[in-house]
Amino acid sequence: MSGLKCNYCEQTFSRKRNLDRHLDTRRANENMCPKKRKTVRDEATGRPTYLCGKITCGLIFETAAERSVHEANHYAKCESDEQDALFCFKCDDCKKYFCEGRELERHKDQHRRDPSFVAREKRTDRQFLERDGTKVYTCEFCQKEFNSCGDANRHEFVSHADVPLLTTLTKQHFQHKSPLKPKHGFTPRALRPRNLAHSDMDTELDWMFQTYQLGKDIGDFIRDNPNQFNLYIGRDMTGSPDVSVRHQTGSSPLGEAADQDLVIVCLHREPFDGEWQEKTQQMRMFEACAIEVAMTDAEFKPVLGIPQYHVLNKQRERGEITHRSDKKLAKLFERGVTGFRWFCFEKECEGDCDAFIHPEWEKGQDLVVDMSRRAHRREVEEDDAMVDIPGPGTSKLTRPTSQDAIKSEVQRRIRHFRQEVKKHDPTHTVYTVITTDNQLFPPEKQSAVAICTNILEQEDKEMEIPVYTGVNGTEESERYHEDNEASSILKSVRTGRTAIQIGTQVFATRTLARKEEALRLLHSFLHMRFDTPNVKFNVLNIRMEWHSLLLCTDEEIKLAIRLAWIGIPPVTFGPLPPELKFPHGQYPVNLRRQVLDRNVKKI
């Protein structure tokens, strides 16, 4: 015995830390020293046993540690529990109950920092059933049963609390691709996690939306200078006259043309009606057909009297038209093999000529696309350096002229198409990537597992770690960020960071993967509104996928919003209850689990 003794109760201790813990307990217990509880000998074995301190419980344990774990559950959950509970962690300001002291202290700190802070409404005197001496609490909405009042309250809050839905999404909303810009009214980490019923929620969701405008007429130039016009076929899920944001921020055919100071013009938009999922499929199929025809036509020499334009598209979208019959494919290929006229330049034409597209030339200035927001500009070493302007290729095939030759060429292309389609993998992967500071986590000295383990060990530190959510075809996800100037991950790596993939999930179709991506991004962007303690996982994506969100159900959207509002981050350091995760259980990403399974790697 070392002689360490409490000056109040004369109890002795072998270690100073045990004495300090005893004195801390005394101060928390209104200056009354805790009494050492006596053990009860087991009549059969003679070994000491440990009785639960709650009189109405009576459970006996073999070790004091097991008893302590058990007694931690005997805390007051509502006013009627206070007399019988071993612990009572209650906020004096709002009368909210907690299961442990540190949660109460954290809650009190929120009151001190924000006098207007409103905690989630407490549930008092919740009804329960007594079954085999145990209280059973039932969800009022789905009748699911829980062993504690707190678990039942949390379940109802996360799974059934009503939230304003994003059901008023319009074309204007879709045009706001980058929610996190300060000019859009965004202030990161400005709010505290709070009750979903908070009155400001509708207002706080409005910061995501914005619109754009642009345009110019150029019909005469295209008609008179066909060799200086380059054709690009793409799709845009919005009603904006602007092109997709990917052309503004990275390496793409239109972006490369803009880098060479070429004028970008939007000549035609094909309208589609119907439900969003059906409309999206139609849009993709139309785009794929147009690209197939354009790239087929570009392989052959021009038809006399019909201008042929250089096509900027670099790859076909065969996966979108695999379901089409050979008969329909034959019509498609025949048009490209025989040649056709793309544009009608007659402003009085009513659309009944043989041209593929009838641009609305009368719009004039409204046709030019503003590429001034393009962030990436090609670096030129010398001011007078020459650049290669895209133009028609020199190696062209001779077009077949007889019907038999045309038919033979079309059939050959159908066979080739079917062979290429068999190689196509329809599955898509949704992946999560974090980027870590090379000064804090030197990549040359540590593996991905070691870096992530180091992050887990610093869970309580204030640190910002960017997190990126992406989706791609299984065969494309590995190489997408290597040299794509539009990649947020690539830009982050160039600032002295290391990219680590910490989670992947494979979906059977592109649509399912896009839905998952949209839900994760909605959660990530909303989560950035709230100031959460310790490590902060800040979203690295620069735009929200509104069009894919329309494919999701109301309940899927509600869950993503709820998780953000209560402070659940995109990446966690441990397991979460099922009600705090997406139904498939893989999001939010459990970093600890991924490290244990060694499912992390540098990219």
In the chain, helix, strand, coil percent, each to 5?
35, 15, 50
Residues 553-595 pLDDT 10s: 888 888 898 888 888 999 999 898 888 899 998 999 999 999 9
The answer to whether 433 and 603 are in contact (CB under 8 A) is yes
Largest CA distance in the chain: 112
Provide the token pair at 421: 């389609």
Residue from 236, 247, 170 nearest 208 by CA? 170
Would you give the DSSP letter of residue 357? B
Q: Which residues contact 501 (CB under 8 A, 6 or more apart)?
A: 431, 432, 433, 600, 601, 602, 603
- In this prediction, residue 377 carries a pLDDT of 44
Residue found by looking up tokens 């008893």 in the block: 67
Residues 198-236 pLDDT 10s: 444 444 444 333 322 222 246 777 777 787 788 888 877
* b/e 146-173 (16+ beta carbons within 10 angstroms → b): bebbbbbbbbbbbbebebeebeebeeeb
Peptide bond into 588 cis (omega under 30): yes
- In this prediction, residue 329 carries a pLDDT of 92
Cα–Cα distance measured from residue 369 to residue 266, given in angstroms and rounded to the nearest whole number: 6
Q: Which whole-number Å values give the CA distances from 196 to 10, 120, 180, 411, in the listed order?
A: 52, 8, 21, 60
Cα–Cα distance measured from residue 80 to residue 78, given in angstroms and rounded to the nearest whole number: 6
Cα–Cα distance measured from residue 465 to residue 536, given in angstroms and rounded to the nearest whole number: 6
Cα–Cα distance measured from residue 370 to residue 351, given in angstroms and rounded to the nearest whole number: 28
The answer, yes or no, to whether residue 2 has pLDDT greater than 80, is no
Q: SS3 for 465?
A: strand
Of the pLDDT bands very low, low, confident and very high (cuts 50, 70, 90), residue 432 is: very high
Residues 39-79 pLDDT 10s: 777 777 778 888 888 877 878 888 887 888 788 778 887 77
Residues 375-388 pLDDT 10s: 444 433 333 333 34
- In this prediction, residue 363 carries a pLDDT of 63
- In this prediction, residue 444 carries a pLDDT of 87
Between 367 and 323, the more confident residue is 323
The answer to whether 525 and 180 are in contact (CB under 8 A) is yes
The answer to whether 253 and 312 are in contact (CB under 8 A) is yes
Which range among 276-280, 374-378, 401-405, 547-551 shows the weakest confidence by mean pLDDT? 374-378
* Region 384-411 average pLDDT: 71
The answer to whether 441 and 455 are in contact (CB under 8 A) is yes
The answer, yes or no, to whether residue 509 has pLDDT greater than 70, is yes
Residues 326-350 pLDDT 10s: 999 999 999 999 988 888 887 777 7
Provide the token pair at 149: 């009042």
Q: Is the pTM of this model over 0.75?
A: no
Cα–Cα distance measured from residue 301 to residue 394, given in angstroms and rounded to the nearest whole number: 9
Average pLDDT score, the chain = 77
* Region 483-503 average pLDDT: 87
- In this prediction, residue 526 carries a pLDDT of 85
